Chains A and B, each alone.
Chain A
């Protein structure tokens, strides 16, 4: 399997490294707009072909798949060009900076013989995988309440760059970071019917730094979300979901999972199982930056080789994009809004 990478920054480089270590997979081409980066890598990695535009790379290289790890506002044009060249795509999250572009991309897919995957990596964190298994076992009974949080210490003054410019990024913490939790909630509870949201800027002038939202799912579950990229106490990403059912409750975070069952006799919750991250770490073909990324790339190669539909393809990620878009609308109109067209 021959892979190209568009955008050779931190994520592009990481995905490429993971792909190279999978049997029968090779990164053969890289496209990046930074001339300095291209020359630098050429001097240490001469086996790879380098291009200063993705169009040139697609037309000159025979590729089976491409990793798109560029700023989000360029995802759709690059993915469209790849799909038109019959190249399967892995697109970093978020799918797009606007819903309109995401819809356009989805429409283009019809009848094309390619597969797609979007980079929502938190589903592959071992504790969240275990949490999904427990949820699907229906052990906790009917779900009554869901609370979720995702925080990081990142923005404490006005920042420079496309991420903080709404015209380019489509928004702030919600579209860039909280979207990870929205994908996790979608993975856990299915499609969303309507949302109610509020956004707040603290340090950034053009984008929001905090978001709170209520997501009403088709299956009747309501989930609360609280997220910020301006929490000094969270030096690393902190993601947590608290799920309460009529038979038991579960708290799952990126670091541990506690399952408690309700005891009818004592009328109390009793811890049934507890896992910490090291308990669920199983050994990976290679670990560069965390097992979630290894699992993600293994899956991507599997879907490309077997032309299999991914659980997190463009079609499904379009739903995530709609949720984001509707939260922004709800925040603006200050009312609950339903997800149109779903």
Chain B
């Protein structure tokens, strides 16, 4: 049995991601350019008993993780859930800039010794045709900003998981699963917008009782092939579901949204984004009624 947090604070709002309104997204993005604003939100969450936070690997992530490392209360209290999406970026970079320039720009900010180690390790992977090994080097780069923090789980971003799903690449799943647990001592986890189909793929890869972050909401937003099929699969209780997009990007009122969500029975974990104290107090109060 895993011990992941029942409420995980999401980070979309910090980076201006808002599916309803790009203008609204931009406003919050401007606000959270100031790191102390992000710090405040982490404290609001903690005041409400929330001690899990998810971060997507992002060019600006170092400034946030440095801030957490420098604050012993945050560092000791928070479990970090990492979402690794940027591997896709390398594919485009390699095809447009060539492998050399890609490696060069990936290593910005690393020390000389780290760079040498990294290049030698990758070189070894290339010479030995160990391409899953190269994937693991990319994961190392993605997770480097989180050193010294309590990484609870590492999620393969839904775009990547779903791409893996598109080609039934079960070896890639198995590699990710092994590597995350062995190297980082963290729980491997997956994001997907195609929950029923992704469960079938995990089954083929013989990965049982995994952690899946997927959209669950009354509107059926981001639930594929449709809400009914996802609900049915959730009822089978094959994996631990972390529900995301629970408010369908702000188009559902929290009361209505969480009443639906927890009526499904098997949902024990949610990821939510909050951007102010009022917002945090209100949201977490409603969720605590159920969890």
Q: Which residues of A contact B (CB under 8 A)?
A: 9-10, 13-14, 16-18, 20-21, 27, 34, 36-37, 39-40, 43-45, 160-163, 233-236, 238, 253, 255-256, 276-279, 281-289
Q: Are B167 and A20 in contact (CB under 8 A)?
A: yes
Q: Are B172 and A287 in contact (CB under 8 A)?
A: no
Instruction: Report B165-179 residues with CB < 8 Å from chain A CB.
Output: 165-169, 171-172
Contacts known (A43-B132, A283-B224, A283-B225); A277 close to B166, Cβ less than 8 A: no
Q: How far is the CA of A322 from the CA of B149 in the complex (A)?
A: 56
Contacting residue for A236 out of B22, B166, B222, B251, CB 8 A: B22
Q: How far is the CA of A285 from the CA of B97 in the complex (A)?
A: 34
B193 neighbours in A (Cβ, 8 Å): 287-288
Q: Are B163 and A255 in contact (CB under 8 A)?
A: no
B165 neighbours in A (Cβ, 8 Å): 17, 21, 286, 288
Q: Are B197 and A288 in contact (CB under 8 A)?
A: no
B168 neighbours in A (Cβ, 8 Å): 20
Q: Are B194 and A278 in contact (CB under 8 A)?
A: no
Q: Are B249 and A278 in contact (CB under 8 A)?
A: yes
Q: Are B163 and A256 in contact (CB under 8 A)?
A: no
Instruction: Report B218-271 residues with CB < 8 Å from chain A CB.
Output: 219-227, 248-249, 251
Q: How far is the CA of A284 from the CA of B162 in the complex (A)?
A: 13
Contacting residue for B221 out of A36, A238, A278, CB 8 A: A278
Q: How far is the CA of A317 from the CA of B182 in the complex (A)?
A: 51
Q: How far is the CA of A154 from the CA of B169 in the complex (A)?
A: 31
Q: How far is the CA of A278 from the CA of B221 in the complex (A)?
A: 6
Interface flag for B116 (CB, 8 Å): no
Interface flag for B63 (CB, 8 Å): no
A256 neighbours in B (Cβ, 8 Å): 20-21
B97 neighbours in A (Cβ, 8 Å): 160-161
Q: How far is the CA of A276 from the CA of B24 in the complex (A)?
A: 13
Q: How far is the CA of A10 from the CA of B101 in the complex (A)?
A: 18
Contacting residue for B95 out of A9, A21, A27, CB 8 A: A9
Q: Mark B92-122, 1 if CB is under 8 A from A, else 0.
A: 1011110101000000000000000000000
Q: Are A286 and B225 in contact (CB under 8 A)?
A: yes
How close is A160's CB to chain B, nearest CB, in angstroms? 6
Contacts known (A40-B134, A235-B29, A278-B251); A17 close to B221, Cβ less than 8 A: no
Contacting residue for B251 out of A13, A17, A253, A276, CB 8 A: A276
Q: Are A278 and B19 in contact (CB under 8 A)?
A: yes
Q: How far is the CA of A43 from the CA of B167 in the complex (A)?
A: 13
Q: Are A163 and B96 in contact (CB under 8 A)?
A: yes
How close is B161's CB to chain A, nearest CB, in angstroms? 9
Q: Which residues of B contact A (CB under 8 A)?
A: 15-16, 19-22, 25-26, 29, 88, 91-92, 94-97, 99, 101, 126, 129, 131-132, 134, 159, 162-163, 165-169, 171-172, 193-194, 197, 219-227, 248-249, 251
The closest CB in chain A to the CB of B159 belongs to A289
How close is B1's CB to chain A, nearest CB, in angstroms? 30
Q: Are A281 and B222 in contact (CB under 8 A)?
A: yes
Q: Are A277 and B169 in contact (CB under 8 A)?
A: no
Q: How far is the CA of A36 from the CA of B19 in the complex (A)?
A: 36
A283 neighbours in B (Cβ, 8 Å): 220, 223-227
Give the most central of B16, B95, B169, B226: most A CB within 10 Å. B95
Q: Are B225 and A285 in contact (CB under 8 A)?
A: yes
The closest CB in chain A to the CB of B193 belongs to A287
Q: How far is the CA of A287 from the CA of B248 in the complex (A)?
A: 16
Q: Are B16 and A235 in contact (CB under 8 A)?
A: yes
Q: Are B96 and A44 in contact (CB under 8 A)?
A: no
Q: How far is the CA of A253 from the CA of B251 in the complex (A)?
A: 17
B223 neighbours in A (Cβ, 8 Å): 283
Q: How far is the CA of A233 from the CA of B132 in the complex (A)?
A: 37
Closest 3 CB pairs of A and B: A17-B166, A283-B226, A278-B221
B227 neighbours in A (Cβ, 8 Å): 283
Q: How far is the CA of A17 from the CA of B101 in the complex (A)?
A: 28
Q: Are A255 and B171 in contact (CB under 8 A)?
A: no
How close is B131's CB to chain A, nearest CB, in angstroms? 4
Contacting residue for A34 out of B94, B126, B134, B194, CB 8 A: B94
How close is A64's CB to chain B, nearest CB, in angstroms? 19
Q: Are A287 and B249 in contact (CB under 8 A)?
A: no
A253 neighbours in B (Cβ, 8 Å): 22
Q: How far is the CA of A276 from the CA of B221 in the complex (A)?
A: 11
Q: Are B166 and A43 in contact (CB under 8 A)?
A: no
B88 neighbours in A (Cβ, 8 Å): 10
